[in-house]
Every structure is written in structure tokens, then in C-alpha cells.
Structure 1
Amino acid sequence: MLNAERQPRFNVQPNLVNPNADESAQRLMSYLCDMYGTRILTGQQIGVVSTPELEILHEVTGKYPAVYGFDFMNYSPSRTERGAECFDTDIAIDWWQSGGIVTFCWHWNAPKDLIDLPPDRTWGSGFYTKATTFDVQKAMADEDSEDYKLLIRDIDAISIQLQRLQDAGVPVLWRPLHEASGGWFWWGAKGADPCIRLWKLMYERMTNRHKLNHLIWVWNGQHADWYPGDEYVDIIGEDIYPPDRNYESQLDRFQTALSYTAMNKIIALSENGPIPDPDLMLRDQALWAWNCTWYGTFVYDTVDGRRVYAEKYTELDQLIKFYHHPYSVTKDELPDLQNYPLRD
């Protein structure tokens, strides 16, 4: 089954939406296109405060994931001005240099108007709609307004971190404005139109103003009405949190993601709770390009002061199966991506 000929929908050309994409991004995209429909890259999200997930996974499976997920959250200006610190950029550079693949999301703390009321509307939750009165529709409607200029300020702040990654030769699977259609994040709270315009603003500013040519743009809006257009999207991601120990392939969501565009785009499981069973993915041809298990209790519990693997979402035997399955790619199986051949 692993050697079966790929279906046409998995034949994706490595043509990035940024015509000036650098070689690092082109080489990574070439690899992703070569692998898509034949293997899944194992992935894990980093913890925001502590980062024991990878070592725990290695302890119980003997393997590290191929893809490591990071978050620019604590680089948001409305967090740094309140004392937040972040080292994800540094860790990501080390991860790439050690042979792994980097993906970044951004829990973008609202630029202003944080409600800051405990217990769940504090400034630390300022990316949630419930924790801010910042109005993205109002901001996007007036380019001369303070709110619009603050959006620009924040995009520029994250661009500094992305520039550091570009300078270090690190291509990034870049997944901003995620889960917008759910409405629980402020960038999706006012409907599709202002969010799509914000996506395009971010793309244009990062690509044309900041010349960030190492980005592979992963759109994760989760609804066709929120799709900004093929010319702004390299890869489509779906975030899926099924019930505990549900290892189904998530075929319905895979097919939904395919329906967002008439073009062949790579489809990734950009966040997950339980990990789908690779045999079921193969059976259903729900062949996600990579997965990225969320952090914290999705991976570990603290027992008697010691962090141990948590089986609440994915049982240990199932995790080991996934990391050792011939369909799965772990970090040790990745090629030299810095010199991966470019596809025509």
C-alpha cells in the first residue's frame, strides 16, 4: 500500500506564491511535494512556557518528530510591553540546524484594548475575542487610524523575528491568523472580510516591504468563505481535536480542505489532539502532509513532581505505532533539506 501510485490530487507542483521565494523555501517545498501522498511528517508543538514535549516523546518512542511547532505569541508588542519574554526564534534556529523542519503560528495578542480581568480575560489571553474589545473590522476600514497603524506595528515586530530566521537560513511553514472562522480569536471576530484583508495586508507587507522570502504560507481559516485566494496560499492546514483516543483518519475534514480551491494544494493536519492512525489514513487516502500534536497535557502529565507521558488523548502503544510506522517520517529520516534538490 505504501508503494501504490499517488492519486492525481496528491501531485502538487512546488510553485510558491511568492515569486521571489528563496532557495531554502524552494528546497523545503520541493521535499514536501515529493513526499505528499506517500508519507506523513510527524510533528509536535512547543509549550509556551516550558518545553518538555520533545524529550518526553524521545524517551517513550526513541524518536524525535520531523516538524517542530513554535509560536510568536510572546513576541506580540502588547505582551512584551508587559514583560513577556520569548525564545522560540532561537530554539527554532537550533532545530533547523540540527536537521528538523520549523513551523510557526502566532497567537497574536490584540494590539490594544485588552480587558485584563481575571480569571480568563487577562492580558495573557489577549488573543481571544473574550479578552479584548479591539475591533479588527474598524481597524481595517481606516488606514489612517491608530488601530490600523498598531496592526502594522505588530506585523513589523514579528517580521523582525522572521528576518532572524531568514538570516539563519531557516525556511518557515508560516501559519498566521489560524482558526479564524471559529470567531474565538479577535482576528476572526468580525467575519471573513476584515480577516481576509488582514491576511493580504500581512502577506504584502512581509513579502514586499520586509522581503521575507523564506516563508511558505500555510492558511488555516477552516472555512471556504475565509479563503483569501490561491495567490496568497501555499498550503492548507486543518486543526482537528476529536474525542480522546479517537484515531480516525479525519477523512471528512481532509475532503473539506480539498474543496477550498480547485488547485492541487498540500493539505496538512496543522494541529491535532489524538493522532490519527496511519493505517486508517492510508485506507481512506486522507494523506495529511504532516501533523502537529498540541502541547501540554496532550503529551505529558506531572506525577509526583515528574513529567511523564500522558495517555489521555493518544495511548502510548498508539503513539509508538505512529512514530515507528513505515508511513511516518521522524526527524532521523529527513534528508539534508539545506541541499535538497530543487524540482523543475
Structure 2
Amino acid sequence: MKRTSICSIVLISALLLSTLAPGVSQEPVTPNASPEAKALLEFVYSISGKYTLTGQHNYPATKDRNSQFAAEYSGQTPAIWSTDMGFAEDGDTDSYLARPDIVKEAIRQHKKGAIITICWHAVPPTADEPVTFQPRGPFPPDSLASVQGQLLDEQFKEVLTPGTRLYKRWEAQVDSVAFYLKQLQEAKVPILWRPYHEMNGDWFWWGGRVGEYSTADLYRQIYDRFANHHKLDNLVWVWNVDRPSTPIRKFSNFYPGNEYLDILSLDVYGSDFNQDYYDSLKNLSQGKPLLLGEVGNPPFPEILDTQPDWTSWVIWAGMARNVSKKQYQELYGDPRILTQDDPAFWEATASYREACKLPALPLKNNYPADFSGNWLFSEEKSELGNSGTGMVPYRMKANQDGEILFAKKYNLVEWGDDRVSHEEINLEGEEMLSQFFRSPRVSISSWDETTGSLLINSTVTFTRGGNTTEMLSSEEWSLKEDGRILSIRQQSTGFRGEKIDVTLIYEKQ
């Protein structure tokens, strides 16, 4: 963690008071933008040229699993939580059915300190959700059913023509996403919204089109639908392009106009931080902020020396290890680069969080106990009665993050690889759903204020041969010996109705 000095405090004060060049407005392009959206955009302006936020993308169906891994691997928590509205089938990490959970997770991340950014691999209007990422042929040329691929010219024209069949299908699809963004609006969560990303490329169905019926027209169309029809006032509009690898992909060919965007952004993979890309985007911006929408590798300090106005980057899901731990330490040692764990980030976001009616960072842990850690089961110290250890996790990794306790459990399988399961417990008593041996489990927690123990009551519903059976269980989690021992007392009813009462002992590693 970087040290805070008198100089850094002066820098932060200057940062918060900084203003734009005359004639450039910091007001969002969204009509009647919410106070939270205004504060978010003001925050981005305030750090431009001074700080760069770290970020991590998360697949839609994984909540913040990628961010958790990035935090553990790199040593600090990314400042930005990123996700996608999804497009794929149930069970896929990109599932569109994850949208209700995306809303909940975005609210949680916002409260705990992250800046929220969302994109959408939009479904082509020629198909219904779910679709695949790449085309799976053969398919008729007029029936694209994947995010990648191209519509026919007449189809793209139809998408942009109100009243037509494909326009109505497009309308219904974007309305389905607006439904969830509206929930975030009601929760007063401002979003860096990045639609139709990499629009100067031709690999996505929406991209690469110039002329009378263009990709820029499509961007303006979704802006109008969200801002003017749905009155979504919590969106900060982020226009996004990829590197201009061919003349037709020149940024200006796809620019929708200053009145349709708040921030300009670029996606960079392969560490291709060409100075010309930065300069071209900077010249196009007319004073508006810049950010890196997606990267495979973050820009290192020597890049930021000549490209200082990148306000943030987001490493794409599954790419956190493109950078070594040693390189992360180098990045985090630079005072310009901010994570959620950095005091400079806490200071810089103070006004923003105040506008959002959220407490200043860092948040305090108000719970009686913190069960975070790597825990190893001790059969010798446990009280098992007549029970064996066949269903007992021999290892557990717990991470208490805000009001959620994440538990990753490892069960020994005698004939194969370990079985790994994930469980989430809401420490505020909200009902949580999970799986127990492929059967649904509902869990609710509460605290024993006297002992500081966490009480978890669960119901597992088993269905066998058309018959349904419920198994009730309770757990009491307690820390002992100055937090070195985790005791879990389990009381339940077995499959045959027998009473089970055991105490499992885990030792902190």
C-alpha cells in the first residue's frame, strides 16, 4: 500500500477542485441526469490526467468471482467492477439469465466502494435469447444467431427503420436490458454504460458500418431509447472503439457526436498502446475524459508517462494472470494507479460517495467475527459421534466481503478429483440460494450477539423418484483461540430421519 504524504493530500485537494478547460461541460449527456450520475462523471473528470483506476471484468454468471481472484492474485482489490448483461444459455458464464443477480451484485459492489461499469454483447435482432458468441453453422444468411457475425445490409437498414419487423425486435431486446438498468436506477446506482463496444470493428453484428445506415446511427438509436423513452437517468455514456487497424476503422468514422457520449474509450489487447491511438482519441474528445474499456494487459507506468489521461482500465475476465505478481507490485507502487485499498482512492471518491449518500471509505467491519482465511479440517480435534467424514469438506477457503461470506469447499473424492462447491451466506439475514449435492438449498443467517457466533439455518429439498423430501440443518460458526480455530457445530436430520449433531474443527493455515 502506498504511503500518504502531505504532498499527496495537496494533490488530492487540487484534484477535487480541478476544472475543465473553458467551454467544456461536465454535465452528463443524459437529460436530467441523477445526482449520482452527475457525481460519477465529475469524479472521472477530477482524476483525468492525475490518477488511473484499476478494474476487473466479471463474466455475467460469476458475480464477482473474477474480481475476487484478481484481488487475491495481485494483492489489492480493483477499483472498478465490470460485467456484461449476457447473451448465452443457462449454465454458460455469459448467461443472460444472470441479470437479476447482476443487479444485486452491482448494488453490493457500489455500496462497498467499487465503480460500476457494464457492457452488453447484444443479441442480433434476427434471433431470440439465448444465442452463441460465434456463429455455429451452417445457418441461413438471413438468420444470424450469434453475437459475432454480420447482418445483411437490408437487415441492418431494417433495424434502423422504425416500424419494421427487425426494428421492433431490436426494441424488445433493448427494452429487456433497460428493465434491469431501471432497477439499478431505482437503487440509485450510477453506471458507466458501454454499449455496442468495439464498434469500429466488423466482428460483432453491430460493428464496422459507415455511410447512410451506420453503427453510429445504431448507437444514437439506443441512446434515444434509453435516455428519452425509458428516462434512464443513472447512465454515464461510454463510447467505445477498438484499435484502428485499417483505414475504415478510423475513430472519427464512428463518432456519434459529443451530445451522445460522456467518455471516450478504447479496447487494447496485446499491450498495443500505440501513441497514435491515444493522440487520435484525445483530439476527438474535445476535453471529455478517456478510459480503457478492456485490456489484456494494463498500461505500465512508462505508457502512462506519455498517455496520462487514461482514467481507468479494465482487465478482461480470465486475464488477471497475464501480468505477474511482481509486475502488479510495480504497478501498485506508482502513485498514479489506484485500487480500492489505496487511501488516495478513498480521498478521491469522498465527494462522489457523499453524493450517493454512502459512507466514506474505508468501510468498517461491523460484524462480530470475520471468518476469512484458509481452513484445514482436523478430524482428531472434531467431535463426530458415530458419523464419518465422507461429506465433510477437508479444506475450506472463506472470504468475508462486506455483507457476504463466500465459502469455497473442497470434498475428497476417493475415486477421482476433489469436488469443489461454492456457498454464499448473506450476513444481514437475506435468504440465499445454493446447491447441495445437486439439490437446491436455501440458507438464512443470524448473529448471536452474546457469543459472536454466526447461526445458519438451511433447508435442502431432495427429489427422488417423484417424491420430495426436505432436510433441515443448522450450523453455528465460532472463532476460538484468537481466530486460529474455526468451530462449526452442525445439527441436522439425515436421509433416514436420524439426528446428527457434530462439531467440525478447522485450523487456520
Normalising by structure 1, what TM-score? 0.81
**Cα distance between partner residues in 2 of 1:199 and 1:117:** 21
**Cα distance between partner residues in 1 of 2:266 and 2:32:** 27
Q: CA deviation at 1:119?
A: 10
**Structure 2 counterpart SS, 1:191:** coil
Match of 2:292 among 269, 273, 284: 269
Match of 2:239 among 219, 222, 229: 219
What's 1:327 paired with? Answer: 336
Match of 1:65 among 52, 69, 78: 78
**Cα distance between partner residues in 1 of 2:292 and 2:194:** 12
Q: CA deviation at 1:117?
A: 11
**Cα distance between partner residues in 2 of 1:212 and 1:198:** 18
Asked if the contact 1:75–1:157 (Cα under 8 Å) also holds between the matched residues in 2, the reply is no
Indicate how the Cα distance of structure 1 residues 195 and 25 shifts in structure 2: closer, same or farther if over 3 A, else same. same
**Structure 2 counterpart SS, 1:182:** coil
**Cα distance between partner residues in 2 of 1:218 and 1:13:** 16
**Structure 2 counterpart SS, 1:90:** helix
Instruction: Work out which of the two has the higher radius of gyration on C-alpha atoms and give 1 or 2.
Output: 2
**Cα distance between partner residues in 1 of 2:77 and 2:265:** 22
Mapping for residues 251-290 of structure 1, pairs under 5 Å: 251-261=275-285, 263-281=286-304, 283-290=305-312
| Letter of the structure 2 residue corresponding to residue 63 of structure 1 | Q
Instruction: Give the share of equivalent positions with the same residue, in percent.
Output: 27
What's 2:69 paired with? Answer: 56
Report Cα offsets for 1:97-142 as digits up to 9, x if no partner: 111110010000212248x999942499711116x66965232353
Asked if the contact 1:250–1:276 (Cα under 8 Å) also holds between the matched residues in 2, the reply is no
**Cα distance between partner residues in 1 of 2:291 and 2:281:** 9
Indicate how the Cα distance of structure 1 residues 163 and 224 shifts in structure 2: closer, same or farther if over 3 A, else same. same
**Structure 2 counterpart SS, 1:268:** strand
What's 1:164 paired with? Answer: 183
**Cα distance between partner residues in 1 of 2:184 and 2:132:** 35
Q: CA deviation at 1:174?
A: 0.5
What's 1:307 paired with? Answer: none
**Structure 1 counterpart SS, 2:215:** helix
Asked if the contact 2:52–2:337 (Cα under 8 Å) also holds between the matched residues in 1, the reply is yes
Asked if the contact 2:202–2:208 (Cα under 8 Å) also holds between the matched residues in 1, the reply is yes
Asked if the contact 1:10–1:37 (Cα under 8 Å) also holds between the matched residues in 2, the reply is no
**Cα distance between partner residues in 2 of 1:180 and 1:37:** 26
What's 1:15 paired with? Answer: 27
Q: CA deviation at 1:75?
A: 8.5
CA RMSD of superposed structures (Å):
3.3
**Cα distance between partner residues in 2 of 1:94 and 1:269:** 24
What's 2:46 paired with? Answer: 34
Asked if the contact 1:68–1:101 (Cα under 8 Å) also holds between the matched residues in 2, the reply is yes
Query: Which has the higher relative contact order, 1 or 2, with Cα contacts under 8 A spaced 6 or more apart?
Result: 1
**Cα distance between partner residues in 1 of 2:288 and 2:339:** 23
**Structure 2 counterpart SS, 1:109:** coil
**Cα distance between partner residues in 1 of 2:152 and 2:217:** 19
Report Cα offsets for 1:202-234 as digits up to 9, x if no partner: 111111111101111000134211000001010
**Structure 2 counterpart SS, 1:236:** strand
Bigger shift: residues 29-38 or 119-128: 119-128
Report Cα offsets for 1:269-315 as digits up to 9, x if no partner: 1110111112431x21433010011111x12xxxxxxxxxx3xx322
**Structure 1 counterpart SS, 2:353:** helix
Number of aligned residue pairs: give it. 315
Report Cα offsets for 1:37-87 as digits up to 9, x if no partner: 1000111111244353212222133311111111012389xx9xx984443
What's 1:178 paired with? Answer: 197
Match of 2:121 among 107, 119, 133: 107
Normalising by structure 2, what TM-score? 0.56
**Structure 2 counterpart SS, 1:220:** strand
